[in-house]
Amino acid sequence: MATPSYRRHSVQNRRSRVNAGFTLVELLLVLALLAGMAALVVPSFGGLLADRGMARAGDQLRVAMMQARLSAMRSGRTYMMQFRQGSGEMRTLPWVDMNDMTEAADQTGGSSALLTGGNLVGGTMRAVDIEAETRNAELPAATTIAEVNIQSSPRSFLIETQMQAQASNDWGQPILFYPDGSTSTAAVTMQSDQVGRVVVLLRGLTGEPTVTDIFAPIAAGAGS
């Protein structure tokens, strides 16, 4: 039995529409949906990368503090860590007394120089090339030193006084790492705009640095 012509045309039309694929309107709709999804995902991905950058900055400073403490213990010299506040610059270097405390403070090789923040004395101390021993570092891009709080002590008074007198090119008050493994008690706040801030805490008695979680950025004009 022959199929009516109008049925044949109807079946052929349906097949042609199926084989034609997506229409232009359908393609535009799919593209719009993809663009909307990307607009939601990209900021979240960017925020995740920014958070990782702040965490990396905290780890970088924590490792630098551990290395400075180790250098002081190995060399028998007090080491300093300084920052340029408002930038990402920091440096670590040995401290040498302008009056050569290593020879004048305690010729017997005892511990009195160490108790006032000095270096080991006697034959165990070698000459040091400060420029060669200075380690400069830069925090990750867009991360700056927002605040440095250091607890002063009688032990650090001599070094801090001499450093202030030297007025060393905007470098701030030094964090000190002593040959006996102890350090200054300090808190260094690093910040990245629109991302947040982390604080690296240094406990003077043990010399152990720790990194906090990421906090909200310090508000502009807020006091320290």
In the prediction, which pLDDT does 119 show?
Answer: 52
What does the pLDDT look like over 94-146, one tens digit per residue?
998 765 444 434 444 444 444 444 554 444 445 667 888 899 999 988 899 99
The answer to whether the CB of 197 falls within 8 A of the CB of 216 is yes
Instruction: Report CA dihedral (81, 85, 87, 88) to the nearest 10 degrees.
Output: 30
Q: Residue 200 — very low, low, confident or very high, per pLDDT cuts 50/70/90?
A: very high
Higher pLDDT, 8 or 70: 70
Q: Residue 205 — very low, low, confident or very high, per pLDDT cuts 50/70/90?
A: very high
The answer to whether the CB of 32 falls within 8 A of the CB of 115 is no
DSSP 8-state code for residue 98? T
32 SS3 class = helix
| Residue 94 amino acid letter | P
In the prediction, which pLDDT does 87 show?
Answer: 92
In the prediction, which pLDDT does 186 show?
Answer: 97
Residue 3: pLDDT over 90: no
DSSP 8-state code for residue 172? -
Nearest C-alpha neighbor of 89 from the set 57, 45, 133 = 57
Q: How far apart are CA 137 and CA 129, in angstroms?
A: 18
Nearby residues of 118 by Cβ (< 8 Å), 6 or more positions away: 78, 97, 101, 102, 105, 106, 158
Residue 4: pLDDT over 60: no
- Just give the CATH number of 36-211: 3.55.40.10
In the prediction, which pLDDT does 14 show?
Answer: 54
Tokens of 150: 């250091």
Chain-wide mean pLDDT for the chain?
Answer: 76
From 53-62, 75-84, 136-145, 210-219, the region with the lowest mean pLDDT: 210-219
Q: Residue 16 — very low, low, confident or very high, per pLDDT cuts 50/70/90?
A: low
Nearby residues of 120 by Cβ (< 8 Å), 6 or more positions away: 76, 77, 102, 109, 113, 114, 179
What is the mean pLDDT of the segment spanning 62-78? 95
What does the pLDDT look like over 25-54, one tens digit per residue?
778 888 878 777 766 655 544 455 457 878
What is the mean pLDDT of the segment spanning 165-194? 87
Residue 70: pLDDT over 90: yes
